[in-house]
Amino acid sequence: MNTDVTTNDFEGSQNVEMVRTEQLVKRFGDNIVLNGIDFHVKRGQAVVVIGPSGSGKTTLLRCLNHLEKIDDGRIYIDGQLVGYREEKGRLVEDSEANIARLRSQIGFVFQRFNLFAHKTALENIIEAPIHVLRQPKDQVVERARVLLDKVGLADKEDAYPHRLSGGQQQRVAIARALAMNPKLMLFDEATSALDPELVGEVLKVMRQLAEEGMTMVAVTHEMGFARDVADHVVFMDKAQIVEQGPPEQIFGECENERTRNFLSRVL
In the list 115, 194, 203, 230, the residue contacting other proteins (rule: CB under 8 A) is: 115
The residue among 201 and 237 lying less far from ligand ATP, judged by its C-beta, is 237
The residue among 13 and 192 lying less far from ligand ATP, judged by its C-beta, is 192
Taking 3-state DSSP, the helix, strand and coil percentages for the chain, each rounded to the nearest 5, stand at 40, 25, 35
Q: Which stretch binds ligand ATP (CB under 6 A): 13-21, 52-60, 159-167, 169-177?
A: 52-60
In the list 7, 15, 105, 256, the residue contacting other proteins (rule: CB under 8 A) is: 105
Residue 215 within binding range of ligand ATP, rule CB under 6 A: no
Mapped onto helix, strand or coil, the DSSP state of residue 187 is: strand
Residue 3 within binding range of ligand ATP, rule CB under 6 A: no
Report, in Å, the least distance between residue 50 CB and Mg ion. 11
Residue 264 within binding range of ligand ATP, rule CB under 6 A: no
Give the H/E segment covering residue 198. helix 196-211
DSSP, res 95: P
The residue among 8 and 53 lying less far from ligand ATP, judged by its C-beta, is 53
Give the H/E segment covering residue 257. helix 257-266
- Contacted entry of Mg ion, other proteins, ligand ATP, none for residue 117, CB cut-off 5 to 8 Å set by kind: other proteins
The residue among 76 and 116 lying less far from other proteins, judged by its C-beta, is 116
The residue among 3 and 53 lying less far from ligand ATP, judged by its C-beta, is 53
Number of residues that bind ligand ATP (CB under 6 A): 11
- Cα separation, 91 vs 38, in Å, equals 18
- Contacted entry of ligand ATP, Mg ion, other proteins, none for residue 104, CB cut-off 5 to 8 Å set by kind: other proteins
- Cα separation, 244 vs 133, in Å, equals 36
- Cα separation, 101 vs 66, in Å, equals 11
In the list 44, 56, 83, 129, the residue contacting ligand ATP (rule: CB under 6 A) is: 56
Q: List Cβ neighbours of 172 (8 Å cut-off, separation of 6 or more).
A: 113, 115, 121, 124, 125, 148, 151, 153, 156, 161, 164
- Cα separation, 198 vs 173, in Å, equals 15
Report, in Å, the least distance between residue 54 CB and ligand ATP. 4
Residue 166 within binding range of other proteins, rule CB under 8 A: no
Beta bridge partners, 24, equal 37
Cβ pair 108, 95 in contact under 8 A: no
Beta bridge partners, 46, equal 216
Residues that bind other proteins (CB under 8 A): 65, 67, 96-97, 100-108, 110, 112, 114-120, 127-128, 131-133, 160, 162-163, 173, 176-177, 180
Residues that bind ligand ATP (CB under 6 A): 28, 31, 33, 51, 53-59
